[in-house]
Amino acid sequence: MFGVRACSALWGSRTVSRVQLLRTLSGMTVAQVGLHSIVYTCTITDLFNPMFCFVMQIDEEVAKLLQLKAKLGGDDGKIQFVLKTPKGTRDYNPKQMAIREKVFNTIVHCFKRHGAETIDTPVFELKETLTGKYGEDSKLIYDLKDQGGELLSLRYDLTVPFARYLAMNKITNIKRYHIAKVYRRDNPAMTRGRYREFYQCDFDIAGQYDAMIPDAECLKIVYEILSELDLGDFRIKVNDRRILDGMFAVCGVPDDKFRTICSTVDKLDKMPWEEVKKEMVNEKGLSEEAADQIGEYVSMQGGMDLAERLLQDPKMSQSKQACAGLTDVKLLFSYLQLFQITDKVVFDLSLARGLDYYTGVIYEALLTQAGVAPVVAEAQNGAPGSTEESVSVGSVAGGGRYDGLVGMFDPKGRKVPCVGVSIGIERIFSIMEQKAEACAEKIRTTEVQIMVASAQKNLLEERLRLVTELWNAGIKVQCICIFNPKLLSQLQHCEESGIPLVAILGEQELKDGVVKLRVVATREEVDISRGELVEEIKKRTL
Amino acid sequence: MFGVRACSALWGSRTVSRVQLLRTLSGMTVAQVGLHSIVYTCTITDLFNPMFCFVMQIDEEVAKLLQLKAKLGGDDGKIQFVLKTPKGTRDYNPKQMAIREKVFNTIVHCFKRHGAETIDTPVFELKETLTGKYGEDSKLIYDLKDQGGELLSLRYDLTVPFARYLAMNKITNIKRYHIAKVYRRDNPAMTRGRYREFYQCDFDIAGQYDAMIPDAECLKIVYEILSELDLGDFRIKVNDRRILDGMFAVCGVPDDKFRTICSTVDKLDKMPWEEVKKEMVNEKGLSEEAADQIGEYVSMQGGMDLAERLLQDPKMSQSKQACAGLTDVKLLFSYLQLFQITDKVVFDLSLARGLDYYTGVIYEALLTQAGVAPVVAEAQNGAPGSTEESVSVGSVAGGGRYDGLVGMFDPKGRKVPCVGVSIGIERIFSIMEQKAEACAEKIRTTEVQIMVASAQKNLLEERLRLVTELWNAGIKVQCICIFNPKLLSQLQHCEESGIPLVAILGEQELKDGVVKLRVVATREEVDISRGELVEEIKKRTL
């Protein structure tokens, strides 16, 4: 009671809604003090500490604002739960999980066809592991609170943990995939499948191989996955960091402006050239002339022919870097021909992916079919920024070569060449979900083969005995866990959830040692002897 | 340069090891200041700000300590990476992932056999969602740093997010499983499979059903999974929260000490009774007489018979709560008989699982086979606390009924009865890994069916053409991505990684339109026409 008064005094006119003396914990009296949704467990001494009360006050204001924001009713001092998932995150319900499982199966099957192994890493890394890897995007990293011990951050992608893993285990050679969640404190656009927690689905080849063969295999994988998922037409844009740098050099961009001009070029998929140019000249201080020269190059698209033409280009050919990049793009296209995927791949000088760690080939896959649902949905919402976002076509995969990243982790700077691709699985989920909804496709969320039901009362034990028999034989069975369910409701449940068979038990069936097997779709019924039931179910649910 | 001097002045005798003026970013001059492993990107103005320099100093000290701790060599001001995963976490390498996939398949198959759907929730929740659910263990929750916006915590288990999901979506009826990672700032014991990041594998049944049927199904699931994983003999201990509370009441424990005495009873699997009693009397202030009465009850073990006997017990039968619990345990055992699993289930009055949210039946499965490897390994290390840990037998699953949890999230307090079980998958992984190592079992980490190889030079293109043919036909193929690999090294790779077949290409084979198919195990070789190759591979790698 002392605590309450002391605290109220410190808080001025405020009243503490709940102070509850708890219990003697290791001989120390402990109180729970609560205002709104925050409850503090503290010692009585804490309540006399002005700093403690000050922190409580700040936390309390934040909680109040959050609650007001969620508009969940009155601020009456009662504990109010904001019943939601954190901003930019979502639950997956069983239907979404069924779609997710299907998509993952397709993708994993493709990775396995290419002989990949898989690894997993922790969801958080030492903070310093992520430091200096993401350029301007570092501000989007989630940090964990310092609760004593190491400083930790949630992983921002799967590539940096992969590089850390290689360096730490001195692995110089691996083809691996990794499907896991990553975290970015980005502005979420959930209707378009952009979340703060989202799956990445990465395939990477590390090791010293002959030029462009692993790079071409990554593109083959993107091609296979996007074809098999049947998401409509797509394009894979290809460029090379060295071509971009060479282009900047021959266009007269000062060395120290390469990265920032590159970020501006990267916006070309979201803004028209005029705006990009304005940013280069007005914000980044580039000369109008240099910007115009860049403008000419970044409008170029083609295939192997374009690479050949640029190798002859009087300006471009002055850059050794650009020539190295162009020669590799030429070689890459020769392998893409062998892999039979050149119909969807475009060499596009405007592609300039943001991440700092790319050193060679870069690529990005886009869905090109008009009216990809999620984009349209957001544009109609008229939310701020929706115009910009509706222009953006759906990027569903991206990657490139990053030969320097592993060396950043190795104590002796030993490099391991790497190339990889990340499948934009959340965008793909969103599209698949909308497709499933649009065609009113019925998605099963369980694989139950048969329901054990009864038309008569007091047969629970007999039902459970049969269920046990079937479980023990490996059959997927369901049974309503109540004494006397109605037959109609049991049959309805089967129709709703797509269970194909029902085993109906009654006094007569028990006497005859049979089960009435009902096919839900046709309503056909047939008596099957108990001994033959398992085989019959297997035959009918292949 | 100004920044360096200003900063040095503020830091007194310290020297900044690196100050690097970076670039003009949106017209603002930016510097990178580094001491040890921390690098700050800041404006020049920041360097004059005493608060900024103060924060830098603190961070720097923390980083220094961390580095010293990791003993990674000199403090020479060079950027030093501590190349490790965070404390209590681990990477999974491809072999571990192969084991993990196998274990998950077994478990998921069992869940699906029981008709369960699956859901997923975000890795973090609003902090307040977890508040007040875990009693004394709340201190183990990982919080995220407040970077603006909502206050978040990493999930501590999958049960509370499940309850939040049910309340949020007004679901009153679901049988679901959820396999995902959870986070506890606990003292890790990694050789025993206890981590700070670990998988949970939960199966729960929510909904109003007739008593003890879903509870019995949870035990059936534990029984099936532990049997199928072939981990040696096991026991499933069963008790009921109401029996414990009734027992405390009739033994004269004051109401407000039920929970704390319950936590002490929970330690009986790790400490002998004498120590538990000492804690009750000396630390928790219980009378010696009450403690002795509890001691008598908690030594009791049995089956349905014990429940019947206790219902007649003159003291126990005075508690309505205890009688309700005992009647349910009797009923539970009748269903366990139908499910044919009573041989491994024991009614044990000493079982007192820690979590606050259980309201009825509770259970825990333990491996009983002597010499479960991880425990022994730790005891031999002689690490502090290892004696205690080596006494503890391997708990590999646990759960119970929690009828009140969903109501804690519902604005109107509407309850949804729930019962569930969590499989201790990390402990199981550890055992499986040690088993695999012990019997020198060869674990394949890929599913590659065939390697496309060549004995001659300059056949890269031909190899890639064949690989493409096979990929397009759905065959899992590997091929060494270099111009002229040696045949011997290609064959060796197959032997090491368990690839069963090799397709060997040479000038002669290309002329004849065939491929030399080699069986790695037997070294048998046979020519197969290109047109029949796919079928032949499928036939041989069923």
CB-CB under 8 Å, A460 with B124? no
- In sequence order, the β-bridge partners of residue A399 are A363, A421
Element (H, E) at A260: helix A258-265
Question: Has A491 been labeled as part of a binding site?
Answer: no
- C-alpha B357/C-alpha B346 separation (Å) is 22
CB pairs below 8 Å between A and B: how many? 271
Q: Which of B26, B25, B7 is nearest to B17 (CA)?
A: B7
Mean pLDDT in residue range A115-144: 93
**pLDDT at position A475 over 90:** yes
Contact A279, A267 (CB under 8 A): yes
Mean pLDDT in residue range B156-175: 95
CB-CB under 8 Å, A209 with B126? no
Contact B151, B211 (CB under 8 A): no
- C-alpha A82/C-alpha A72 separation (Å) is 7
**pLDDT at position B204 over 90:** yes
- Taking each helix axis as running N to C, give the angle between helix B50-70 and helix B2-10, from 0 to 180 degrees, rounded to the nearest 10: 80
**pLDDT at position A333 over 60:** yes
Chain B touched by A476 (CB under 8 Å)? yes
**What letter represents residue A63's amino acid?**
A
Across all residues in chain B, what is the average pLDDT?
84
Kind of pairing between the strands at B197-206 and B174-183? antiparallel
Confidence (pLDDT) at A54: 54
- CA angle B256-B127-A3, nearest 5°? 45
DSSP string across B224-286: HHHHHHT---EEEEEEEHHHHHHHHHHTT--GGGHHHHHHHHGGGGTS-HHHHHHIIIIIT--
Sorted by sequence, the CB contacts under 8 Å of residue A56 that are 6+ apart come out as A33, A35, A38, A40
- C-alpha A227/C-alpha A235 separation (Å) is 11
**pLDDT at position A513 over 90:** yes
Contact A389, A256 (CB under 8 A): no
pLDDT digits (tens, 9 = 90+) for B106-137: 999 999 999 999 999 999 999 999 988 887 78
**pLDDT at position B373 over 50:** no
- In sequence order, the β-bridge partners of residue A197 are A183
Contact B118, B177 (CB under 8 A): yes
**pLDDT at position B143 over 90:** yes
- C-alpha B72/C-alpha A429 separation (Å) is 44
Tally of CA atoms within 13 A in the half-sphere of A442 that contains its CB = 7
Confidence (pLDDT) at A440: 73
Question: Has A146 been labeled as part of a binding site?
Answer: no
- C-alpha B379/C-alpha B389 separation (Å) is 7
CB-CB under 8 Å, A411 with B81? yes
- CA distances A152 to A346, A370, A513, B183, Å, are 40, 42, 63, 13
- C-alpha B248/C-alpha B256 separation (Å) is 11
Length of chain B counted residue by residue: 542
pLDDT digits (tens, 9 = 90+) for A334-360: 999 999 999 999 999 999 887 678 999
**pLDDT at position B22 over 70:** no
Closest residue in chain A to residue B129, using alpha carbons only: A81
Distance between the two ends of chain B, CA-based, in angstroms?
A: 70
**pLDDT at position A26 over 90:** no
DSSP string across A144-194: BP--SS--EEE-S-SHHHHHHHHHHHT---EEEEEEEEEE-----BGGGTB
Higher pLDDT, A70 or A221: A221
Q: Which of A444, A478, A476, A497 is nearest to A101 (CA)?
A: A444
Confidence (pLDDT) at A10: 35
Mean pLDDT in residue range A522-532: 95
pLDDT digits (tens, 9 = 90+) for A70-86: 434 444 444 456 899 99
Question: Has B40 been labeled as part of a binding site?
Answer: no
**pLDDT at position B88 over 50:** yes
CB-CB under 8 Å, B472 with A340? yes
Closest residue in chain A to residue B259, using alpha carbons only: A23
Contact A207, A107 (CB under 8 A): no
Confidence (pLDDT) at A206: 97
B259 burial level (CB within 10 Å; 0-12, 13-18, 19+): middle
- C-alpha A400/C-alpha A262 separation (Å) is 15
Q: Which two tokens stand for residue B299?
A: 């030594």
Q: With bands split at pLDDT 50, 70 and 90, how would you rate the model's confidence at B481?
A: confident
**Pick from A141-150, A256-265, B286-295: least confident:** A256-265
- In sequence order, the β-bridge partners of residue B514 are B529
**pLDDT at position A152 over 90:** yes
Mean pLDDT in residue range A270-295: 93
Q: With bands split at pLDDT 50, 70 and 90, how would you rate the model's confidence at B491?
A: very high
Q: Which two tokens stand for residue B391?
A: 């006494």
- C-alpha A468/C-alpha A506 separation (Å) is 17
**Prediction pTM value:** 0.80
Q: How many CB atoms lie within 10 A of CB A232?
A: 15
Give B314→chain A minimum CA distance, Å: 32
Mean pLDDT in residue range B412-424: 93
pLDDT digits (tens, 9 = 90+) for B214-273: 999 999 999 999 999 999 999 999 999 999 999 999 999 999 998 889 889 988 888 899
Confidence (pLDDT) at B369: 77
**What letter represents residue B494's amino acid?**
C
Confidence (pLDDT) at A162: 97
Contact A172, A207 (CB under 8 A): yes
DSSP state of B444: P
Chain A touched by B63 (CB under 8 Å)? yes
Separation of CA A439 from chain center = 25
Chain B touched by A50 (CB under 8 Å)? no
Confidence (pLDDT) at B162: 97
Q: How many CB atoms lie within 10 A of CB A17?
A: 13
Give B85→chain A minimum CA distance, Å: 6
CB-CB under 8 Å, A209 with B482? yes
Percent of chain B scoring above 90 in pLDDT: 65
A420 burial level (CB within 10 Å; 0-12, 13-18, 19+): buried
For B460-470, give one letter per residue: b (16+ CB within 10 A) or e: bebbbbbbbbb
Which member of A209, A448, A468 has the closest CB to residue B339? Answer: A468
- C-alpha B153/C-alpha A11 separation (Å) is 27
Contact B124, B141 (CB under 8 A): no
Q: Which two tokens stand for residue A247?
A: 């282009």
Hey, CA dihedral for A373, A377, A378, A382, is it positive or negative? positive
CB-CB under 8 Å, A120 with B81? no
Sorted by sequence, the CB contacts under 8 Å of residue B494 that are 6+ apart come out as B451, B500, B502, B520
- C-alpha A541/C-alpha A533 separation (Å) is 12
CB-CB under 8 Å, B465 with A224? no
Across all residues in chain A, what is the average pLDDT?
84
Q: Which two tokens stand for residue A222?
A: 């993107």
Mean pLDDT in residue range B352-366: 88
Element (H, E) at B306: helix B304-312
Question: Has A357 been labeled as part of a binding site?
Answer: yes
- C-alpha B476/C-alpha B450 separation (Å) is 7
Give B91→chain A minimum CA distance, Å: 4
Contact B344, B236 (CB under 8 A): yes
Which member of A73, A82, A209 has the closest CB to residue B481? Answer: A209
- CA distances A36 to A67, A476, B412, Å, are 9, 47, 17
The B residues from 106 to 135 touching A (CB cutoff 8 Å) are 112-126, 128-129, 131-132
**Pick from A19-23, A212-216, B7-11, B156-160: least confident:** B7-11
**What letter represents residue A288's amino acid?**
E
The B residues from 258 to 317 touching A (CB cutoff 8 Å) are 260, 283, 285
Question: Has B446 been labeled as part of a binding site?
Answer: no
pLDDT digits (tens, 9 = 90+) for B39-51: 455 555 555 555 5
Confidence (pLDDT) at B259: 85
Contacts of residue A209 in chain B, CB cutoff 8 Å?
A: 481-482
Chain A touched by B150 (CB under 8 Å)? yes
pLDDT digits (tens, 9 = 90+) for B497-527: 999 999 999 999 999 999 999 999 999 999 9
- C-alpha B59/C-alpha B11 separation (Å) is 14
Q: With bands split at pLDDT 50, 70 and 90, how would you rate the model's confidence at A385?
A: very low
Element (H, E) at B440: none
Kind of pairing between the strands at A117-118 and A174-183? parallel
